[in-house]
């Protein structure tokens, strides 16, 4: 076996058999001198990987660590959450979260367009697709996820796209110039964003959802009905309870047939049918995975190898795989803090969110799906205005448990604060349900609990700070 030890310049030196190596340049991987920083290899330079790097640079006041990060895409971390805005400005630079100069200034070695493809846990090295070999002390895996493409006959024809990277969007824009209609497979969050993009490209747009409602993981049946009406008013066609049986065409997309027997003509398909954790590298090096994929981690985000950690969408924690940005950022914060002497735990996260999909406000918060005997629900619906509001209260109506808002989410921040504070409500359940939609004055910042906040910072849709410095308090919208 050929193993490597870390030299004083941070590279690895091969030790094979009994060959001697100049002791002046070799140091043991395990025993670091006070002047030698430990090497943290961050595999993945997406939004979560970057957030970890930022926080470790901020928290590591004693400069205990040297950071090396691998990014398989041709550009460094960019705002994948705000990807749809690319259709308006067509400028990848406007989505960048960190300039190359920032990495250099803070001492992070960035390997662009280079995928980490091998982890040797015995020798503690990482090897990339370009042959770069790094000896590590610890690894943080932030490999993210990849789009799930269902095994539909004909799905590999020309004209089928996923909606994940800037390159994907560039290909969609180019192909749309010679297309008339586009079918989007998937009516979830990202599917509706893809539909908005297709619609803005002047394509006849169809949304195809296998479930009986749009956004099946975020809204109920009544909320979906309101959302469908709003979207169809724009001119987008929505097909619910419909699966795609087959894609037809002579080497390129020409028509798709539904499982219902219906078919539509289209030249393009955008697949947005969910994600799967990027866990293949972890699997290859023998790390434990979840039952349905994802790198298994404990509350300290540690894998089955004590020197390898995982954060973001690639993880499997306590039975959950998180497909949102906010949990990944929280994991990154915890991981960086723990490496600098803290002892934080990840105990799951609040997946409340507020979005604007195809111009329609959509929000869900708290435990909006619960239906046991300890809670009761109230509903306010205005078909004319296209608004829907369902709030879930404790049985006595004194505490807000969760809710769904469609068409008008102006009170989202206040309602979320009531849920998080767990304090008794300052008004009746009826007044709170009517809210701004019913002209009531019950919901206002003057009635917030002392522990409340106006909005959930992890769901604020704002401007991405341009690096150097990602701001300490800012967040961008945490949707996926």
Confidence of residue 375 (pLDDT cuts 50, 70, 90): confident
Distance CA 109, CA 233 (A): 50
Confidence of residue 14 (pLDDT cuts 50, 70, 90): low
Q: Beta partners for 183?
A: 206, 269
Higher-confidence position of 176 and 24: 176
User: What is this structure's pTM?
Assistant: 0.81
Do 391 and 406 touch, CB atoms closer than 8 A? no
Q: Which residues are CB-contacts of 399 (< 8 A; sequence separation ≥ 6)?
A: 393, 418, 422, 423, 424, 425
Confidence of residue 432 (pLDDT cuts 50, 70, 90): confident
Distance CA 304, CA 287 (A): 6
Across the beta sheet with 38-43, the strand order is: 109-112, 65-71, 38-43, 138-141, 308-310
Stretch 140-168: mean pLDDT: 95
367 pLDDT above the threshold of 90:
no
Question: DSSP assignment, residue 427?
Answer: S
Do 322 and 328 touch, CB atoms closer than 8 A? yes
Of the candidates 92, 130, 139, the residue with the CA atom closest to the CA atom of residue 111: 130
Confidence of residue 266 (pLDDT cuts 50, 70, 90): very high
Summarised one tens digit per residue, pLDDT across range 73-98 is 999 999 998 888 899 899 999 999 99
Of the candidates 48, 45, 39, 136, the residue with the CA atom closest to the CA atom of residue 315: 48
Confidence of residue 436 (pLDDT cuts 50, 70, 90): low
pLDDT value for 458: 39
Confidence of residue 3 (pLDDT cuts 50, 70, 90): low
pLDDT value for 353: 85
**Structural domains in the chain?**
2-146+276-339 (3.50.50.60), 160-272 (3.50.50.60), 353-455 (3.30.390.30)
26 pLDDT above the threshold of 60:
no
Confidence of residue 474 (pLDDT cuts 50, 70, 90): very low
455 pLDDT above the threshold of 90:
no
User: Could you give the percent of the chain with pLDDT greater than 90?
Assistant: 62
């Amino acid at each position: 076996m050929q193993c490597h030890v870390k030299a004083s310049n941070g590279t690895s030196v091969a030790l094979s058999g009994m060959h001697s190596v100049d002791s002046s340049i070799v140091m043991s991987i395990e025993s670091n001198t006070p002047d030698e920083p430990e090497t943290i290899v961050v595999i993945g330079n997406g939004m979560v990987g970057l957030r970890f790097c930022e926080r470790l640079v901020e928290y590591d006041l004693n400069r205990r660590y040297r950071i090396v990060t691998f990014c398989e895409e041709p550009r460094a971390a960019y705002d994948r959450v705000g990807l749809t805005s690319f259709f308006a400005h067509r400028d990848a630079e406007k989505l960048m979260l960190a300039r190359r100069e920032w990495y250099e200034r803070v001492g992070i070695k960035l390997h662009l367009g280079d995928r980490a493809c091998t982890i040797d846990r015995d020798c503690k090295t990482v090897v990339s697709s370009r042959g770069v070999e790094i000896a590590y002390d610890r690894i943080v895996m932030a490999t993210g996820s990849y789009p799930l493409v269902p095994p539909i006959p004909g799905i590999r024809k020309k004209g089928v796209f996923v909606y994940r990277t800037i390159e994907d969007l560039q290909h969609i824009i180019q192909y749309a110039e010679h297309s008339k209609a586009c079918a989007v497979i998937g009516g979830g969050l990202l599917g509706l964003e893809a539909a908005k993009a297709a619609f803005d490209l002047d394509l006849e747009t169809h949304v195809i959802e296998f479930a009986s409602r749009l956004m099946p993981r975020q809204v109920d049946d009544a909320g979906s009905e309101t959302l469908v009406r709003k979207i169809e008013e724009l001119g987008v066609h929505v097909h619910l309870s419909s699966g795609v049986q087959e894609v037809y065409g002579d080497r390129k997309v020409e028509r798709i047939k539904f499982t219902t027997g219906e078919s539509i003509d289209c030249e393009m398909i955008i697949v947005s049918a969910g994600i799967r954790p990027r866990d293949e590298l972890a699997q290859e090096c023998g790390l434990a995975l979840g039952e349905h994929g994802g790198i298994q981690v404990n509350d300290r985000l540690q894998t089955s190898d004590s020197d390898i950690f995982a954060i973001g969408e690639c993880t499997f924690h306590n039975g959950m795989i998180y497909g949102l940005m906010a949990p990944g950022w929280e994991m990154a914060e915890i991981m960086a803090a723990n490496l600098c002497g803290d002892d934080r735990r990840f105990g799951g996260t609040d997946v409340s969110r507020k979005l604007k999909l195809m111009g329609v406000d959509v929000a869900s918060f708290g435990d909006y799906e619960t239906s046991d005997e300890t809670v009761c629900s109230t509903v306010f619906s205005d078909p004319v205005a296209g608004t829907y509001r369902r709030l879930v209260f404790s049985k006595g109506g004194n505490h807000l448990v969760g809710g769904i808002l469609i068409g008008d989410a102006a009170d989202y921040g206040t309602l979320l604060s009531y849920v998080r504070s767990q304090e008794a409500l300052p008004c009746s359940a009826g007044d709170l349900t009517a809210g701004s939609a019913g002209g009531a004055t019950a919901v206002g910042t003057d009635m917030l609990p002392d522990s409340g906040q106006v909005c959930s910072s992890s769901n604020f849709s704002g401007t991405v700070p341009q690096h150097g410095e990602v701001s300490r308090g800012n967040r961008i919208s945490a949707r996926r």
